[in-house]
Amino acid sequence: MTTVFERIKAAIGPEMAGPGLAFVAVVLVFGIASPQFLSAATFGSVAFQLPELGLLTLAMLLPILTGGLNLAITFTANLAGLTLAWVLKANGGADAGFGIFLVGSLLAVMVGAASGVVMGLVIAFTRAHPILVSLSMMIFLRGLGEFLTRGGDISGFPPFVGVIGHGSVAGIPVPLIVFVVCVLAWHLLLGRTKLGFNTYMIGSNLEATRYSGINTRKAIVLVYTLSGVMCAIAGIIMLARFNSVRIGHGESYLLITVLACFLGGVNPFGGFGRVIPVFVALVVLQLLSSGLNLIGANQHLATAVWGILLVGVMILRWAVSRIKISIVRRGS
Amino acid sequence: MRSLIRTHATEFSLLAVIVIISAVLSFATANFFSLGNAFDLLNISAVNIIFAVGLLVVLIAGGIDISFAVAASVVQYGTAIALGWIGGGGWISGLLIAGSLGVLLGCFNAFLIHRFRIISIVATISTFNIYFGLLMFFTRGVSIYDLPDWLTDRVILFEREMPDGTWIEITLPVLVMIVCVIATWTLITRTTTGRQLYAFGDNPEGARRFGINIGAMQFIAFGWLGLMAGIGGLIQAHYAQEVVPNALYGRELDVLAAVVLGGARLGGGKGTVLGCVLGVLLISITQNGLNLMGVSPFAFKMIIGAIILIAITLSNTRIERLLPFVGQKGTGR
C-alpha cells in the first residue's frame, strides 16, 4: 500500500502540490459561492480560453527551464499570425483554400522559428543575459509589426479558419485539442529526449553541462527555436480565435505566462519544473477568471487575484520549507 | 586617463556611440545640432531618467523590479485623489504624498522578497499584476483630467531666445531629474550604504557574513526605486497634464533595456549612474534623430530594438568569437 502511495507521489512530483492545492481550493470556493460554477458551461468556456494563454506559456516554459526567459513571445506569435494573414490575403482572402492555409501556417512557423534562432544564437554565443536579448527582440518585433501594419488589424479569413478557433470535434473544442497535443509533445520532449535532458542540465549548471561534453550552444539555440515555433502555433490559434490579427493582441499575457510557470512550480533559476503541473496551474488561472466573472467581477480583478495567488503559493512554499527545517532540527 | 577608460569602458563606448550618432545626425538633419533640440531631448527624457536611476539601485543590489511603472501609475492616481481630499495642495505636499506612496509600494515588494524569500522577479511580476489589476478594477479605466492648476501649469525655470529665434527652456521635470540623479549618485558612491549595496548585489552571502544587514539592503533598494517611481509618476502627470491608468503600462521594459544598455548587470554588483543616464539618452537621441530625419514613427521601435540587440551582441563578444569555425582551428578555448 505504501509503495503504491510512494509511486504515485513520485509520479506526480513535489511540483504538483502548489497547483493541485490551488485547484482544489478554487473549485471548492467557487463551487460554494456560485451555484452555476460547477457546470458544463464554465468548463466549456475555460476549454476555449485556455489554449491562447496555454500555448504562450509552453513557449515561455522551455527558456525558463534553461535559466533564461523569452519576453518576445507575444510579439513573435502576432508576427507569425500576420504572416499567415498576409498569405491568406494575397491568395483570395475569404475564398482562400485549405492548401493556402497550410502553406501560410508553415511560413508562420518558420517566422516564429527564425525569431527564436536569432535570440538563441545571440544568447548562446555572446552569453548576453536572455532577459536583455529577448527584451530587445521584443522591442524590435513590436516595431516591425507596427511598421508593417501601421498599428491596424487584418481580418477577413476563410470560414474554415473560424472553425479552428470556435469549432469542436466530438464535443471537444479544436483549440483545446491543439493545446493538449502541444502539452503532450512538450511533456515527451522534456521527459524522453536528449534535448529535454540537456535543457534541465543547462538550467542546473551551464558550465558543468558544457564540461561534460554536451554541445550547450546547440541545445540553447534549439530551445529558443522551439519556443519560437510554439509562439507561431499560438499565433495561428489566436488568429482563428479573434478572426483578426493585430500586433498588440495578447500583450497582457506576457507576464501572466511567467506567472503561470512559477505557479506550476518551475524554478525561476531553471533546471527544475515539469509540464503537467504548469498545465494544472493554467487551468486554475482560467477557472479563477471564469469564477470571478460569474460572481460579477471583471477581468482586471482576475488579474489582481492571479498575482495574489502567486504570492500566496510562494508564501505557502516558504512556510512548508520552514516547517520541514524545524522538523529536521528536532529529529536530529 | 587610461585606467579611467578601462574602468569605465561601458560609459566611454556609450559616449562614443552617442557622439558618432550625434555627428551623423548633425550633418543629416538641419535641426539636430541646436541647443533648442538638446533641451527638448532633456525635457522628454526626464521621467525615464528618474525611473532609470531608481531601477539602477535595485539592479546593483542584485534584484529586478517589473512593477515600478505600474506602481507609478498607482501613485499618480492615489496622489490625484489625495490632493482632492486636502483641497489642492502644492508642489511640496504633492511630492511628499507621491514619494511616500511610492516608498510604501516599493517596501511592499521588499517585504515579500525579504520576509518570505521570494525571488525578486517572481515577487514583482506578482505585484505588477496585483497593482495593475486593482488599479484598473477600482478606476474602471477612467482617466483624471481635473488636476489642480499648480500641477498642470508648465513651470519654466530658465528660458532664453536664441539668435535664430527659437526658445530654449528648462522645465521643472529637468530640475527634478537632476536632483534625483545627484541624490542617487550620492547614495551609491558617497555613502557606506552605497558600498554595502554593491557588496550585497555582488555576493549576498558574503555580505551577510561580513555583517551587512540584508533586510535593510532590500528595503533601501526597493524603497529608493519606489521613491523614484513615485516622483517620476507625479512628474509624468505634470508633463502629460492628465492621469491615465494605463499610460505607463509597458514602460518598465523600455527603461530596463536602457539601464542594462548603460552597463548595469542583471545579477547585481555593477552599474553606474552615468552609464544609466547615457543609456536612456542614447535611446532618446536615436528616436529624436529618426524623427528629424523624417522616418515613419512606426519604424522607431524596430530600429531601436535592432540597435539594442546589436549593441549587446557586440559588447558581450569579441570579434573572433562571432566566427566559431575560425576559432576552432586554433588552440581552442
pLDDT (0 to 100) of residue A1 = 53
Q: pLDDT higher for A7 or A124?
A: A124
Number of domains in chain B: 1
Unique residue bearing C-alpha cell 527564436: A116
In a domain, B198, yes or no: yes
Kindly give the residue spans of alpha helices, DSSP state H, lying in B86-203.
Answer: 91-115, 120-139, 149-152, 172-190, 192-202
| Closest chain B CA to residue A69 | B121
User: Which has more confidence, A288 or A38?
Assistant: A288
Q: Where are the domains of chain A?
A: 56-257+264-273
Nearest C-alpha in A relative to B66: A255
Nearest C-alpha neighbor of B242 from the set B149, B148, B143? B143
**A149–chain B nearest CA distance, Å:** 9
pLDDT tens digit sequence for A278-329:
888 888 888 888 888 877 777 888 888 888 888 888 888 788 888 888 888 7
B132: left (phi over 0), alpha (psi -120 to 50) or beta: alpha
Contact A132, A70 (CB under 8 A): no
Q: Tell me the angle at which helices B35-60 and B214-240 cross, rounded to the nearest 10 degrees.
A: 150
Q: For residue A113, what pLDDT is reported?
A: 93
For residue A2, the distance in angstroms to the closest alpha carbon of chain B comes to 33
For residue B328, name the pLDDT band (cuts at 50, 70, 90): very low
What count of Cα atoms within 13 Å lies in the side-chain half-sphere of residue A229? 12
Distance (Å, rounded) from C-alpha A236 to C-alpha A312? 34
- Calculate the CA B214 to chain-centre distance: 24
- Domain residues for B74? 8-316
Q: Is residue B322, in this structure, part of any structural domain at all?
A: no
Q: Between A117 and B90, where is the model more confident?
A: A117
The yes-or-no verdict on residue A257 having pLDDT over 60 is yes
Q: How far is CA A220 from CA A121, A135, A223, A225, B213, in A?
A: 8, 17, 5, 9, 38
How far, in whole angstroms, is CA A204 from its chain's centroid? 21
The answer to whether residue B134 is domain-embedded is: yes
Predicted confidence (pLDDT) at residue B228 exceeds the cutoff of 90? yes
Residue A11 has pLDDT above 80, yes or no: no
- Burial of residue A321 (number of CB atoms within 10 Å: 0-12, 13-18, 19+): exposed
How many other C-beta atoms are found inside a 10 Å radius of the C-beta of residue A185? Answer: 14
pLDDT in tens, A167-208: 777 778 888 888 889 989 988 888 888 888 888 888 888 888
Residues of B with Cβ-Cβ distance to A132 under 8 angstroms? 257, 260, 266, 308, 312
Query: What does pLDDT average to over chain B?
Result: 83
Tell me which of A115, A136, A142, A211 to substitute to probe the interface with B (most B C-beta atoms closer than 10 Å).
A136
- The CA distance from B37 to B29, in Å, is 12
In 3D space, the residue among B284, B273, B269 whose CA is nearest the CA of residue B11 turns out to be: B273
What pLDDT does residue B113 have?
A: 92
Q: In the predicted model, is pLDDT for residue B182 greater than 90? A: yes
CA-nearest of B257, B245, B301, B218 to B51 is: B257
Look at residue B323 and tell me if it is in a domain: no
Does a structural domain hold residue B183? yes
By DSSP bridging, strand B167-171 and strand B156-161 are antiparallel
Tell me how far apart the alpha carbons of residues A97 and A157 are, in angstroms, rounded to a whole number. Answer: 10
All three cell numbers of B248, joined, read 505607463
Packing angle of the helix pair A159-166, A98-126 (nearest 10 deg): 60
> Least CB-CB distance to A318: which of B116, B257, B313?
B116
Judged by CB atoms closer than 8 Å, whether chains meet at B301 and A302 is answered as no
Q: How confident is the model at residue B206 (pLDDT cuts 50, 70, 90)?
A: confident
Distance CA A72, CA A81 (A): 14
Q: How crowded is residue A290: how many other Cβ atoms within 10 Å of its Cβ? A: 22
The span from the CA of A174 to the CA of A178, in Å, is 6
Mean of all residue pLDDT scores within chain A: 83
More confident residue, A216 or A18: A216
pLDDT of the residue at A111? 92
Residues of chain B found within 8 Å of residue A135, distances taken between Cβ atoms? 253, 256-257, 308
C-beta atoms of A133 and B129 within 8 A: no
Contacts of A78 (CB under 8 A, 6+ apart): A145, A235, A238, A245, A246, A247, A248, A249, A250
pLDDT tens sequence across B162-180? 776 667 777 888 888 999 9
pLDDT band at B7 (very low <50, low <70, confident <90, very high): low
Over residues B89-147, the pLDDT tens digits come to 788 888 999 999 999 999 999 999 998 888 888 899 899 999 999 998 888 878 888 77
Beta-bridge partners for B169: B159
**Do the strands A172-173 and A244-245 form a parallel or antiparallel pair, or are they unpaired?**
unpaired
CB B41 within 8 A of CB B285: yes
Q: How confident is the model at residue A42 (pLDDT cuts 50, 70, 90)?
A: confident
Tell me if B125 and A262 make a contact (CB, 8 A cut-off).
yes
Distance CA B33, CA A84 (A): 44
Of A268, A251, A269, A262, nearest to A284 by C-alpha is: A262
Amino acid in position A166: H
Instruction: Write the residue in B121, B309, B317 that is nearest to A136 by C-beta.
Output: B309
Query: Closest approach of chain A CAs to the CA of B168, in angstroms?
Result: 31
Question: Residue B121: closest CA among chain A residues belongs to which residue?
Answer: A268
Tens digit of pLDDT for each residue in B55-80?
Answer: 999 999 988 898 999 999 999 999 98
Angle between helices B120-139 and B68-85 (to 10 degrees): 40
3-state secondary structure of B157: strand
**What three-state secondary structure class fits B295?**
coil
**Angle, CA of A226, A230 and A232, to the nearest 5°:** 115
- Segment A155-173 mean pLDDT: 79
At B4, list the grid cell: 579611467
Q: How far is A259 from chain B (nearest CA, A)?
A: 7
In 3D, which of A147, A135, A120, A133 has the Cα closest to residue A202?
A120
3-state secondary structure of A155: strand
Q: What confidence score (pLDDT) does residue B16 get? A: 84
In this prediction, residue B330 has a pLDDT band, given cuts at 50, 70 and 90, of very low
How many Å separate Cα B286 from the centre of its chain?
A: 17
At residue B1, the pLDDT reads 59
CATH code (residue B127): 1.10.3470
Is B75 within a domain? yes
Measured CA to CA, the distance from residue A302 to residue B211 in angstroms comes to 42
Q: Is B305 in contact with A136 (CB distance < 8 Å)?
A: yes
Q: What is the pTM of this model?
A: 0.85
Q: Which of A239, A282, A288 is nearest to A261 (CA)?
A: A282
Best of A141, A147, A206 to substitute, by most chain B Cβ atoms within 10 angstroms, is A147
A168: phi then psi, degrees, rounded to nearest 5: -140, 155
CA angle B186, B114, A254 (to 5 degrees): 90
User: Rounded distance, CA B328 to CA B333, Å?
Assistant: 8
The residues near B126 (Cβ < 8 Å, ≥ 6 apart) are: A259, A307, A308, A310, A311, A314, B112, B118
The residue type found at B18 is: I
Which neighbouring-strand residues pair with B161?
A: B167
Q: Which residues pair with B73 in a beta bridge?
A: none
A250-265 mean pLDDT: 83
A245 forms bridges with which residues in the sheet?
A: A154
Strands B167-171 vs A168-169: parallel, antiparallel or unpaired = unpaired
Q: Decide: A56 and A258 in contact? Cβ < 8 Å.
A: no
Domain-embedded: residue B245: yes
Residues A227/A77, Cβ–Cβ less than 8 Å: no
Residue A24: CB atoms within 10 Å: 11
